[in-house]
């Protein structure tokens, strides 16, 4: 019924609703105190403070009540005790006067804004660069890991014609001191007849030294040095034969033995890794 009264518009005075108070089990009925003589003062002559009135576009006059047959009646109420804050302390001296034009100081104010924007952008880019650099640096290997990633080998400890095994990055590393006969034999191999064609000079930096990762390319076994049908390396697990250059010559292995990165730092020392 109250909804009908709210939507009735001009017919609202003719529509009535009844309300009855029902006492509950915990609290008895108590008459409400009615203040019929209390009036709310409203000064209609004060200017209305709203978004339109601040810019001078508000209508001048009292409160307006509207009513129609197909719409509810309404009365516009305004809080006329709102104080407009004063922002003079935050404004520039060039724009303090509301009646004066601010176009004369527009260039200087824009220049300051552009300067502050550029300075903020540069500072933000610098901070972002440092954050990204620190994040990427945290992902790099530590000093102890980098120390284990390289191995320095003294070549004078390996006699000619012998092969010595080292542990490098958890894998066996073969360093072979070849004789002149082995160098000539491997250099004369027909590359076109190899399963993984590669010339001997492409696998060594010095002909007398061959450095290989001692892991069979078939299933990851460790070959035996100075063994096999070609005098190089032999994997007894599945019968792969490699020559003195580490190239696959016979057996199920598909590729040659891996040649790691290394460099000679003298006639007697090599660094692998």
Q: Which residues are catalytic?
A: 238
* Positive/negative CA dihedral, 152, 158, 160, 165: negative
Give the Cα separation of 180 and 244 in Å (integer).
12
Residue 86: strand, helix, or coil: coil
In order, the DSSP letters of 142-180 are -HHHHHHT-EEEEGGGS-TT-EEEEEETTEEEEEEE--H
Start-to-end CA span in the chain (Å): 90
Residue whose pair of structure tokens reads 């006969």 in the numeric block: 181
How many CB atoms neighbour CB 240 within 10 A?
A: 24
């Amino acid at each position: 019924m109250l909804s009908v009264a709210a939507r009735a518009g001009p017919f609202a005075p003719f529509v009535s609703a009844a309300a009855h108070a029902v006492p509950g089990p915990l609290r008895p009925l108590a008459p409400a105190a009615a203040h019929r003589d209390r009036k709310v003062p409203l000064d209609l002559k004060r200017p209305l403070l709203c978004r339109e009135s601040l810019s001078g576009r508000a209508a001048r006059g009292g409160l307006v009540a509207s009513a129609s047959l197909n719409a509810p009646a309404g009365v516009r109420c305004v809080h006329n005790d709102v104080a407009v804050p004063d922002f003079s302390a935050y404004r520039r001296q060039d724009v303090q006067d509301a009646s004066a034009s601010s176009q004369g100081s527009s260039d200087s104010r824009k220049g300051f804004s552009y300067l502050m924007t550029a300075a903020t952008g540069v500072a933000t880019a610098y901070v972002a660069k440092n954050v990204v650099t620190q994040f990427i640096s945290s992902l790099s290997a530590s000093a102890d890991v980098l120390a284990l990633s390289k191995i320095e080998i003294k070549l004078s400890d390996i006699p000619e014609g012998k092969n010595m095994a080292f542990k490098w990055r958890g894998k066996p590393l073969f360093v072979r001191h070849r004789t002149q006969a082995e160098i000539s034999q491997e250099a004369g191999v027909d590359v076109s007849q190899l399963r993984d064609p590669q010339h001997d000079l492409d696998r060594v930096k010095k002909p007398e030294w061959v450095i290989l990762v001692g892991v069979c390319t078939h299933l990851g076994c460790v070959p035996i040095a100075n063994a096999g049908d070609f005098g190089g390396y032999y994997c007894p697990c599945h019968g792969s034969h490699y020559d003195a250059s580490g190239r696959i010559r016979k057996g199920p292995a598909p590729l040659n033995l891996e040649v790691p990165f290394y460099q000679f730092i003298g006639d007697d020392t090599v660094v692998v890794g």
